[in-house]
Chain A
Amino acid sequence: MRIVHVEVVNFRGIKQLSWHPAPGTNCLVGPGDSGKTTVLDAIELAFAPRNSVTFDDTDFYAVDPKANPIAITVTIGDLPTEFLKEDRYGHYLRGWDDTAKRLEDEPDEARGLEDVLSIRLTGDHTLEAEWTLFNQRVAQGDQSSRALAFQDRQDIAPSRLGPYADRHLAWGRQSVLNRITKGPAASRGLMAEAGRVARQEFSRDSKTLFAETIEEVKQAARLLGVPVGDALHAMLDVQAMGLSGGGISLHDGNLPLRRLGVGSSRLFTAALQDYARARASVALIDEVEHGLEPHRISRLLRQLKEERAGGTTKAQVFMTTHSPVVLQELSIAELNVVRRDPRTGITIVVPANTPYPGLDAQSQPRANPQAYLAPAILVCEGKTEVGLVRGLDDYWVGKGHLPFSTAGIVPVSGGGVDKAPVIAGYFHALGYRVGLLLDNDCEPKDAKILNELTSAGVTIFRWAPGHATEDHLFRDLPTDAVATLIKAAAAIQDSDQSFLDRLSSKYSKKRFKSVAEVQKAADDSELRIAMGELTKSKGKPGERGWFKDISHAEWIGRKHVGPHLDELKGKFPETIAEIRAWVDREQ
């Protein structure tokens, strides 16, 4: 079985969602509250094998059951042949056009539509949950409504691997061990047998163990004339002991397996579920990285993606994650961004491989995994700008401002003036709030792109005309700060001499003898211009500019730009103030 379409209406934070998941792995990312877990919950509920599920008010959109009745519709394909029978669900089939991603109300095998069934879970203000097979014929009252039989629903119900997997290590309700034990009925049989065994074992020693107490009980009873026989003895009351279900769990030696670490027990459970997943070939995994070291994450992901033995279709996996490591392990086709408009509750799932002109999106999850995990992205032209922004963030945090992380903003490096706008456009198209910070000494090759981005809603930040970040640093900062930067730049160069040589190639007014001499001249505007030019220059190591890595730029931002912001004048502090305002603006 696999899920071809999910439709959610009025469930928790989701007012409306319509989504066509892919056959293999579907990893949902997006900022907190975007509804990732709600999607997983919706899928799980649609198959919930217990008819007694009831909703509570908070399950309804806007906590208003009267106005917002819940409807979750999950359409499944790759149906077991049994389901196609006319006396089972054959008459309820619908047709799925996988190429057009379109659902037709009636099947058409001849035209290549796949036979699918829609399972709909509804709930209204009575808080009762109701499951039916859904199609237009039923909706119009032309076909009597029917639900999947309990057993069938249980057979195909997805297995869920939540954050804590302990329950799967005991024979409790919903435990994967029950599935491996050939279903709940067989399981109950085993429990009963286990109870009998326990009673027998217990009774062997209980006579001596409880002999004294029993003797006293007998005496007391005789005193009051209560007729008790000689057979009075202590025995296990299996029901009171809760031997059924969770009372029996997997042990390794004497150690219960639930004492394994979170990660190990999740891995172990995943393995069990994989084994049990004969027909239920859909798995739901919350925060797949939970409790796992990076190397174990990759092992788990690889295991999930593996073709099942016997050449049957691989499992369809729905997972959520907050881990860049997971993103780096996935291919872009497996990645989906969940977006929820907080005002309307309209939620969309956008595939991360939605094409964007000029960008090979393939590389993005590896290059900027953290970008997918935040609500807003500040795409910076290069690493210098990323560092500067991060340094400023640190500085501001020290001054009691909202951290970028709390505001949900991640600065990422765009890799140059041509690429950065494209990346900004890509993430904006995926639904992220995007800012773009570009130097102003050079324009992107695509002359129209900045206007396009602006009209699409990307906020663009630029320095003064003709200025790169480095130009502003050396031209605008106070003398002390520039002197410190000169010293730091010299320290990055192999030797002081080669630093002075490079400087002389740009600055001819005077030949300096030492770095300290240069520092003293920090006030000279020509020197400042030359330093700026040299700092931003590109080239081989040794000839390349200084501060081209995040950590140096971060240091500059924190130590030298931040503290002087109040004294600075002109476009440089203005643009920085714009960025700050963008960060602080209501999202």
Chain B
Amino acid sequence: MSNEPIVDAVLSSRLGSVVAPAGCGKTDCIADVVKAAGGPAKCLVLTHTLAGVDSLRQRMKEKDVSLHRTDLETIAGWSLRFAAAFPRRSGLATREPRGEDWPAVYAAATQLIRGGFVTGVLKASYQRVLVDEYQDCTAEQHALILALSQHLPTCIFGDPLQAIFGFRNEQLADWKAVTTDFPQIGALKEPWRWKRVKNDKLGCWLIGIRDQLEQLNRVDLAAAPRCVSRVIPQSLTKQDLLKANMSAGRSVKLRGEETLIVIGDKASELIRGSLAAKLKCSAIEPVACQTLGSFLAEIDVCTARDRLTAVLDLAAGAMSGLARAAFERRVVRLAGGWKPRNKITESERAALDLLASNELAHVLSLLECLRRQSGVVAFRRELLSAVQNTLRLVVRGEHSTLAEAAWHVQNKMRHAGRRLARRSVGSTLLVKGLQFDHAVIVAPEKLSRNDLYVALTRASRTITVVSATPTLIVKATPQQNVSKRGQGHE
């Protein structure tokens, strides 16, 4: 790939930014910069997620870039490492930050660097700083990178159109301000992801819609190549919309190892869950998902009959084919001393144990038994695994509280990354950075400008949009804070 001009520009600039639209070889370009930068000091390469770190590492390996040439980390990890190494200088309060503590960690790292306490360490360790996915930087993170850039040449890579706001009340750094601090020194323009599957037309169209989106807040599907199709709902009633969604989902035929993503409402895990159930997909869950949090909080305080209801509610929301009402009725009768003619199943046995005792082990075994029943399909697999793993840690005595155990399970999931099913349902927030062969976008009218761009750029082969109109119109500004969900720090 011809990244040379950009690589040269990056290496010869003190401060700079590179605009990198989706699928245009950003990771590749960063690997090339590291390769060309040479030694002996390392390049500090920062990104946001562990998945991002993995894909950068993978690309460096492919390009034969010695990993000794880089310090490849998440901004969070790097900040914590440095701030914790010098707690008095950084003012870091906690060495094990949880969600709401992170802004303080960035502020601590910023104070350490801006205060000039360890400039010698920075200069001895790194020759330059490269930051990936800069559009996802919060104001605190931007302040940190700015502080670093006072001591080291710094180039940032990102795409303002892919900025999606997700985490709590954190403010994303304003791209205009970002490019004042880091003047644009180049832009990637080749849609490599689509060229690789000989779908150049889609790639070029996706580059082409950027201006329209940025200036007019609209996308004209009529001008799209043939691989972009539209399913038109008969009316805007709930039923017709649902029907359209179903037919859009079924219209995509997967060949070989191809993958499908159904991009649904960002605001509701539950709606996505039921979509997953109907389309026979698996839901991609946020690592610290809301359902998990509220379920754990609930069973922590209730017992017996209330607890059984809570467990069955969770089960019904995550698995299909349970026949929940009949099951619950039978268990209640059994508990009342009724002697049934047919044998008590292992699920019923587990439910009876749960009613009789407060042991969390019974919650775990009931969920396990329900999942094992024939005809039951789990469509929120990630949620169920998280619940089961959390319970297991407490039952085994490795952690004393459910909240503690959940934190550790989530942490582990962040490090392990997810294994995607071939057919998945997710939100723009959950699928950004991921790649699929086919995409179905339902309810595009609910998407912001950036959501829509991210949704449209996930698939390399076909896109199916459920929309009554051929022109998709979005709100002017990226929607901030649409979700109040307890989105973990990923």
Task: Tell me if B434 is interfacial: C-beta within 8 Å of chain A.
Answer: no
CA distance A107 to B118 in the complex (A): 6
A115 to B87, CA, bound (A): 16
Q: Are A107 and B71 in contact (CB under 8 A)?
A: no
Chain B residues within an 8 Å CB radius of A110: 115-117, 119
B91-119 interface bits toward A, Cβ cutoff 8 Å, 1 = contact, 0 = none = 00001000000000000000000011111
Assess whether B88 is interfacial by the CB under 8 Å rule: yes
For residue A81, which residues in chain B have a CB less than 8 angstroms away from its CB? 124
CB of B125 within 8 Å of the partner chain: yes
Contact of A106 among B71, B116, B117, B120 (CB under 8 A): B117
- Interface range on chain B: under 10, 10 to 19, 20 to 34, or 35 or more? 20 to 34
A109 and B88 form a contact (CB under 8 A)? no
A86 to B88, CA, bound (A): 18
Contacts of A115 in B (CB 8 A): 120-121
Q: CA A85 – CA B84 in complex, angstroms?
A: 16
Interface residues of A toward B: which range?
A: 20 to 34
Closest to A113 in B: B117
**Chain-B contact segment, one of A87-95, A373-381, A551-559:** A87-95
Chain B residue with Cβ nearest A143: B85
- Asked if A109 contacts B119 (CB within 8 A), the reply is yes
Closest chain A residue to B126 by CB distance?
A: A86
Tell me whether B121 and A108 are in contact (CB under 8 A).
Answer: no
Q: A87-B71, A137-B85, A143-B85 are in contact. Are A109 and B125 (CB under 8 A)?
A: no
Min CB gap B128→A, angstroms: 14
- Residues of A close to B116: CB separation below 8 A: 108-110
Which residues on the B side are within 8 Å of A90 (C-beta)? 85, 118, 121, 124-125
B175 within 8 Å of A (CB atoms)? no
Interface mask (B1-45 → A, CB under 8 Å = 1, otherwise 0): 000000000000000000000000000000000000000001000
Contacting residues of chain A (50-88) with chain B, CB-CB under 8 angstroms: 81-87
Whether the pair B124, A84 counts as a contact (CB closer than 8 A) is yes
Chain A residues closer than 8 Å to B95, beta-carbon distance: 142
User: Is B89 an interface residue when CB atoms closer than 8 A count as contact?
Assistant: yes
**CB-CB under 8 A for A106 and B86, given A86-B71, A90-B118, A93-B118:** yes
- Let me know if A108 and B124 touch, CB within 8 A: no
Residues of B with C-beta under 8 A to A86: 71, 82, 121-122, 124-126
Mark A493-528 against chain B: 1 for CB-CB distance below 8 A, else 0: 000000000000000000000000000000000000
Contact B89 A107 (CB under 8 A): yes
- B89 CB contact (under 8 Å) in A92, A106, A142: A106
Residue of B87, B117, B123 touching A107 (CB-CB under 8 A):
B117
Q: Which of B71, B95, B121, B126 has the most CB of A within 10 A?
A: B121
- Inter-chain contacts of A84 with B (CB < 8 A): 120-121, 123-125
CB distance from A134 to the nearest CB of B (A): 14
Pick the most buried of A83, A86, A108, A143: most chain B CB atoms within 10 A of its CB: A86
Once A106-B89, A107-B86, A137-B85 are accepted as A-B contacts, the answer to whether A93 and B119 lie under 8 Å apart by CB is: no
Q: Is A574 an interface residue (CB 8 A)?
A: no
- Knowing A86-B71, A110-B116 are in contact, say whether A93-B121 is a contact too (CB < 8 A): yes
A105 on the B face (CB < 8 A): yes
Expressed in whole angstroms, the Cα–Cα distance for A93 and B117 within the complex equals: 10
User: In angstroms, how far is the closest chain A Cβ from the Cβ of B73?
Assistant: 11
CA distance A115 to B85 in the complex (A): 14
CB-nearest residue of chain A to B122: A86
Closest to A83 in B: B124
Q: B119: nearest residue on chain A (CB-CB)?
A: A109
User: CA A93 – CA B121 in complex, angstroms?
Assistant: 9
Q: B220 CB to closest chain A CB, in angstroms?
A: 50
Which residues from chain A contact B115 at a C-beta distance below 8 Å? Answer: 108, 110
B84's partner among A93, A108, A109, A142 (CB-CB below 8 A) is: A142
CB distance from A332 to the nearest CB of B (A): 34
Q: Compute how far the CA of A108 lies from the CA of B119 in the bound complex, rounded to whole angstroms.
A: 9
Q: Please, which residue of chain B has its CB at the minimum distance from the CB of A86?
A: B125
In the complex the two chains form, is B88's CB within 8 Å of A106's CB? yes
Per-residue CB contact flags for chain A residues 376-409 toward chain B (1 = under 8 Å, else 0) read 0000000000000000000000000000000000
The smallest C-beta distance from B84 to any residue of chain A, in angstroms, reads 7
Q: Is the CB of A91 within 8 A of B117?
A: no
Task: State in angstroms the CA–CA spacing of A109 and B87 once bound together.
Answer: 15
A504 CB → nearest B CB, Å: 82
B85 proximity list for chain A (CB < 8 A): 90-92, 137, 143
Contact (Cβ within 8 A) B88 A87? no
B51-83: CB near A (< 8 Å → 1, else 0) gives 000000000000000000001000000000110
Chain B residue at minimal CB-CB distance from A94? B86
Instruction: Tell me the bound Cα distance from A106 to B120 in angstroms.
Output: 13
Contacts of B119 in A (CB 8 A): 109-110
Residues of chain A with a CB closer than 8 A to B120's CB: 84, 107, 109, 115
Please name the residue on chain A nearest to B84 by beta carbon: A142
> Bound complex: CA of A108 vs CA of B85, how far in Å?
13
* Assembled-state Cα–Cα distance A509/B161 (Å): 124
Cα separation A82 to B86 with both chains bound (whole Å): 19
Residues of chain B contacted by A91 (CB below 8 angstroms): 81-82, 85-86, 121
**Interface set, chain A 102-136, CB cutoff 8 A to B:** 105-110, 115
Q: How far is the CA of A109 from the CA of B116 in the complex (A)?
A: 6
Residues of A within 8 A of B125 (CB): 84-87, 90
Question: Could you tell me the distance between the alpha carbons of A105 and B87 in the complex, rounded to whole angstroms?
Answer: 10
Q: Is there an interface contact between A137 and B124, defined as CB atoms closer than 8 Å? A: no
How many Å from the CB of B466 to the closest CB on chain A? 50
Q: Establish whether residues B87 and A137, one from each chain, have CB atoms under 8 Å apart when the complex forms.
A: yes
Instruction: Give B431 Cβ to nearest chain A Cβ, in Å.
Output: 34
Q: A106 — which chain B residues lie within 8 A by C-beta?
A: 86-89, 117
Complex-state Cα separation, A107 to B115, whole angstroms: 11
Find chain A residues with CB under 8 A from B88 CB.
105-106
- Min Cβ gap B354→A in Å is 41
Bound: A93/B119 CA distance, A: 12
Flag if A82 contacts B117 (CB, 8 Å): no
Contacts of B122 in A (CB 8 A): 86
Interface of chain A residues 553 through 567 with chain B (CB within 8 A): none
Q: Which chain A positions have C-beta within 8 A of B118?
A: 90, 93, 107, 109
When C-beta atoms are compared, the residue in chain A nearest to B90 turns out to be A106
CB interface residues, A 142-195, toward B, < 8 Å: 142-143
Interface residues of A in 418-432 (CB under 8 A from B): none
Q: Which residue from A85, A108, A142, A143 sits with its C-beta under 8 Å from B117?
A: A108
CB neighbours (8 Å) of B81 from chain A are 91
Give the complex CA separation of A266 and B107 in angstroms.
Answer: 57
Q: Bound complex: CA of A107 vs CA of B42, how far in Å?
A: 22
Least distance between A114 CB and chain B CB atoms (Å)? 10
- The chain B residue with its CB closest to the CB of A92 is B85
A109 and B120 CA atoms in complex are apart in Å by: 7
Distance between Cα atoms of A372 and B352 in the complex (Å): 91
List of B residues within 8 angstroms of A137 by Cβ: 85-87
Closest to A115 in B: B120
Bound-state CA distance A254–B424 (Å) is 85
Bound CA span A93–B126, Å: 17
In angstroms, Cα B122 to Cα A408, docked, is 55
User: Shortest CB–CB separation between residue A87 and chain B, in angstroms?
Assistant: 7
By a CB distance below 8 angstroms, the chain A residues around B123 are 84
Return the chain A residue nearest B123 by Cβ: A84
The residues of A that contact B86 with a CB separation of less than 8 Å are 91, 106-107, 137
Q: How far is the CB of B24 from chain A (nearest CB, A)?
A: 32
A91–B117 Cα distance when bound, in Å, is 12
Interchain nearest-CB distance for A485 vs B (Å): 74
B58 to chain A, nearest CB (A): 21
Which residues of B have CB within 8 Å of A142? Answer: 84, 87, 95
Minimum Cβ distance to chain A for residue B449 (Å)? 39
Minimum Cβ distance to chain A for residue B77 (Å): 13
Q: List 12 A-B contacts (CB under 8 A).
A: A84-B121, A86-B121, A86-B124, A86-B125, A91-B82, A106-B86, A106-B88, A107-B117, A108-B89, A109-B120, A137-B85, A137-B87
User: Other than the known A84-B123, A107-B120, what 7 A-B pairs have Cβ atoms closer than 8 Å?
Assistant: A84-B120, A85-B125, A86-B121, A90-B121, A93-B118, A107-B89, A109-B120
Give the 4 A-B CB pairs with smallest separation, nearest first.
A110-B116, A84-B124, A91-B85, A90-B121
